[in-house]
Structure 1
Amino acid sequence: MAVDTVAAPALVDDRALSRHPKAGIVYIVLGGLLVLLALTKLGGLTTTVEIDKTLSDASWAAPTSTVVLILGLAAAALGAWMIVGLPQRRYKIAGAAAVAATVLALLFWAYSEEGTVFRAESILAGALFLSMPYIFGALSGVVCERSGVINIGIEGQFLMGAFTGVLVANITGSVYAGMLGAMIAGSLSTMLLALLATKYQVNQVVVGVILNLLALGFTSFMYDQLKKADGFNTAFSVPTITWGPLADIPVLGPVLFQQKIFVYVGLVMVAVVWFLLYRTRWGLRTRAVGEHPAAADSMGVNVNRLRYWNVVAAGLLAGFGGAWFTLGNSLAFNKNMTAGLGFVALAVMIVGRWNPLGVLAGALIFGFTTQIARDLSAAGSSVPGEFLQMLPYAVTLVVVAGLIGKAKAPAADGVPYNPGDK
């Protein structure tokens, strides 16, 4: 007797072709605008790149119109390539390359004015240092949200870390004790979030906003009190670590081997968090409670307890990031000195797709554009610094809109869990 057979459904292949005409059209339009800019506005201009710390006489000048024209054509070609259809992995690479070509073209345009020079080593070293608060804040968010808890309170944790770091450093006379105090303050700040999110199951977004306001009010009040007492809010300086002859390597030396301790701790923590999340039992359980807590519960994982302690541990990272604002920059504490960068760290987390390595890339983008805006502003460029500072947020919107692949949060992010729920 013949047996009817039914073809098994094809498995979803990550290498399947991705066709997103809208994204490709956007890059074609951007590339076309850059080509038009190169042909009509940039004739006769040059952009100078200089290695300013290790090789004082090394500089190169390139015709701005030619570079912008090539980059514009590249962005348009990548957009057209994406319309045709690409394997999923190559599609993401093509989208990222199109964005990079557009930003690089704008950068050459910004530095084409007379009196502006792209001082490569200083700018890159400054960009890496300025990316640190985003790295610490975003890593804190990654640990929380991979566990299923939304941490909107990073801004408040920054403030508590910045204030406590200076206070403890002044009391003990040790900048390293100040860093430890900042970490503890950040962890205590998240402890309340962890308790309310797991035991009382309060709306996590609302709790995060309230904790931000609480931290702002508390640190502002304490700042007013400390102004009346001498010696409790003076700036402490963190020494720059120089790695001997390695610091003399062109470009890499000043960028990687002549920085403050915050840079090295930040880079190490990116690797540590990535390893813990993807190569350890703790990481497997953390990702499980963030994606499918009922499945983790059925395997014997105490979901709420793991979420609680993960959020408390994440506060250590955010608190250390807060110390960057004061101890890292040799500044005394001022009211609201974090200026909303805790919310920017959340954007970095989204750009990085809740992955520590992606967080590093996103933080470098934000740090680089911030450094460029400061450098051009100091040089008196006619390009508005606000326009350059807007670029990271535009990149965030591009990612969220799915033009470089969609950013998808953990499935159970922000969803309370009761043992026995399905």
Structure 2
Amino acid sequence: MSSETPGASTSRAARKDDHVRLASAQQTEGPRRTDFDDLEFVHHALDGTSPERVDLSVTLGDWTWPTPFYVNGMTGGTETTAKINRDLAIAAAETGLPMACGSMSVALDDDQAAKGFTVIREENPNGFVMGNLGAGRSAEDARRAVELLGADALQIHVNPVQETAMPEGTRDFSEWLGGLAEIVAACPVPVIVKEVGFGLSRRTLTRLSEIGVGFADVSGAGGTDFLRIENDRAGAHDFSMLTGFGQSALACLLDAPPAWTNPPAGTADSEPAPVLLASGGVRNPYDVVKALACGARAVGVAGTFLQTVLDHGPAGLVELIRTWQTQTRALFALLGAQRSTDLTGTDLLVRGRLGEFCRLRGIDVVALAHRTDVHSRRNQQ
């Protein structure tokens, strides 16, 4: 998941295998507390509905996805990662989940590496598939990546923290915004700008809107830690001083500009409303529901799905996804939400580190705890 310049494809392929190995090691370390644990719902015991009334599908611009979560970008480009992408694609095809791949930069420079990505379309010819490139690649590269994968959308990841720690990473980010604008203007499919685990701030989302970006995945801290991965690869010359850098997905969602979380009602002549996605440390369906309640329109899952497919293959991942779908429907019903957008009216208690972030950023946590009061007053008017 790095923004890369052409060349050195062999070393980049080895790096991808390193990333999978080190990411898997993080997943097996056991539970850790994250900002998801600092968010609670106020329980209203008589507000629930029937699971049969719940519609899990979500509309994102011109897209309709069957569930509010998807397989986020992970890997590709080597023999090992090709098998992972194959298994992920099989599970995505079986369950109808949209799926993204990892950075395709290596595939644009090495025809052999391309097989690690094209296997996704071979196994999932009719599914919703997202390509992936790093900031710093050209608009022409973006078009090539879309064509190679037959992609329905293209993720462009911005990862300055990872690049700073990466031994072979870039340290010059001065051209990224302009390059993103060129890709957005030229790409034949919608562009989704995403972080890789350090969050997209309010300021960053505003700047993305200004260059025409209509989809953004805040991809916050709390999941796979790419700073730690690069530090492990760097040895003694690491950037461990940056441990804890960045914001969580929930922090980014609560801090997002109103245009991203409460877009105005559109007209036939208006610009499409921007779509906010979230990922980073999503462990279970309850985390999915919490992100949706904070304004995400859909939620990406990477580490949890990766470890499942490594341990149990595509059949194991299909079983897990089916369980998540059933549990997500049950959680919607418990909270009285017939669709995902209903969750943005639930009452939220923001505690701990996440609550401190909200207070420092001027976010009204009291108002978040009384959203149903506002809804009731509106219905009475």
**Which has the greater radius of gyration?**
1
Which has more helix, going by share of residues? Answer: 1
Structure number with the bigger relative contact order (C-alpha 8 A, sep ≥ 6) is 1
- What is the TM-score when the length of structure 2 is the normalising length? 0.26
TM-score normalised by length of structure 1: 0.24
